[in-house]
Amino acid sequence: MHVHRFERVWLVAALSMIVLFVGTVTFGAVVAGYGMVDAEGGQVDPTDPTTSESFREPGVYNGSEAGHYDVYVETRRFAFVPGTTEPIRVPANSTVTFHVASADVLHGFEVVGTNINTMAIPGQKAVVTAEFDKAREHGIVCNEYCGEGHHDMAGTLEVIPQSEFNASAEVQ
């Protein structure tokens, strides 16, 4: 059987792309540590996550170690609680673990300019940890279509200097 030269070129190019894509996904899963939302974060009540044992009232809490904070965020059509009407405030030079749960439909939780990007699935709690070194403001966006008001679903994360954070009553 004769395979034309251009067909061979395209066949090799297509197979190379497949190998590249599989390699990229494997690298992300094994080396970089990317993963999917799973039951590791815990189960929550899909209609009201705050009634579940593994989820608190939305807000910022002191973590188990100094310089570590837990932020509980509830996603609803079409807001982040906290985040949309009132910004989430955390101190600079801290480690923050976000616990995100949805009270209605599938939502996305992305903190722009960071590596925080997860899905909020009804009945599941997503857990994502990041370090914030510098004081600055980050946008929070929903990157999963959640309905007709999806384009308005946005919020703010303010990383503020430690001295300002200590003076405020942010932590519960």
Query: Which class is domain 39-170?
Result: mainly beta
pLDDT of 115 > 90? The answer is no
For 39-55, how does the pLDDT look when each residue is reduced to its tens digit (9 = 90+)? Answer: 567 788 888 888 888 89
Read off the pLDDT of each residue in 118-143 and give the average, rounded to a whole number. Answer: 93
For 2-58, how does the pLDDT look when each residue is reduced to its tens digit (9 = 90+)? Answer: 888 999 999 999 999 999 999 998 887 787 666 665 556 778 888 888 888 889 899
For the chain, which residues make up each domain, given as ranges? 1-34, 39-170
Note if the pTM is more than 0.85.
no
List the one residue out of 94, 144, 91, 154 whose CA is nearest residue 120. 144
